[in-house]
Amino acid sequence: MSAEWQPQASESWKISFTCTKQEAEAITGEVPALEAFDPPPLLVANEPDPARPDDWRIEAYVEGPPSDALIATLKTLAPGGGEPVIERIEDADWVTISQAYLEPLRIGRFHVHTAAHSDGIPADAIRFQIEASRAFGTGHHETTTGCLEMLDRLEREGADFANIADIGAGTGLLAFASRALWPRAQILAADIDPISIAVTAENMAVNGIPADSITLAVADGVAAPAIADQAPFDLLIANILAGPLIALAPSFAAVIAPGATIILAGLLATQERAVLEAFAAYGLDIRARLQHGDWPILALRRAP
């Protein structure tokens, strides 16, 4: 996180409220209602009592006293959670606090951790340090976890890719994982949010990834000169939302090669059929499928 986004300790506030597990999963994904705030709150979900798996707690960290509008928005996202508890955090770094809840993850060969958990990393793991930030994709949401698992699975099954695009890159984690699995491939990471691309560049430096090894682009879908220049791709990853996936199906199909694979995530199981139909219209059929909670991860393949 760059200095211009770093809140001062004296300006840090925390909003705590209870919710269901389903609400926690939705809130810690991409929530357009929260993205409207500048800056949006950083959210941490945790399960206080393992004996009560449906009772979760959300902590929202913000710069300065939270507005009535933000509190009202948070309450609509967890309507059964009661009144939130609002407190000022004295002499505390809210990002460090939030990172303490982001436990390390082992997903296939990948080990994803924050600086607070940089010890005890397995020697055989492909490690990435990804901090809590204003970009989606620390690895803790089931869609990101599923995409990492799908990438690991495809490589183990012998898939080989030479030109890879991560659309909706967030923190850059999926682009980093692709580079680790297919080190000779060209990699491109794009996101509609310039902040996400800045965070991806910072994460590249943190993880020792050379600046020229991944092309970065701010793009609405695949509408950017850098994407057109590098197309056609033989692997395209898109962990976004069902509506945008359906809308982007024709433009995704236009930038992939014959025989290419597309990994789709961010859709709910109830939205899967509509997404599959949108891509089937362009000759893309199921190659592999995973599911984490309510979130399917689809690998589609175009015929050679």
- The verdict on whether residue 168 carries a ligand-binding annotation is yes
Which DSSP helix (H) or strand (E) runs through 34?
helix 32-35
Cβ atoms within 10 Å of 127's Cβ, excluding its own? 17
Structure tokens at 250: 């024709």
Does 239 count as an annotated binding residue?
A: yes
Q: Which residues pair with 88 in a beta bridge?
A: 13
Radius of gyration of the chain from Cα atoms?
Answer: 19
Alpha-carbon gap, residue 297 to 143, rounded angstroms: 7
Residue 145 known to bind ligand: no
- Any idea what the Cα angle at residue 146 is, between residues 185 and 298, rounded to 5°? 80
The answer to whether the annotation marks 191 as part of a ligand binding site is yes
What's the CA gap between 212 and 226, in Å, rounded? 13
Tally of residues, the chain: 304
Binding residues for S-adenosyl-L-methionine: 144, 168, 191, 239
Binding residues: 144, 168, 191, 239
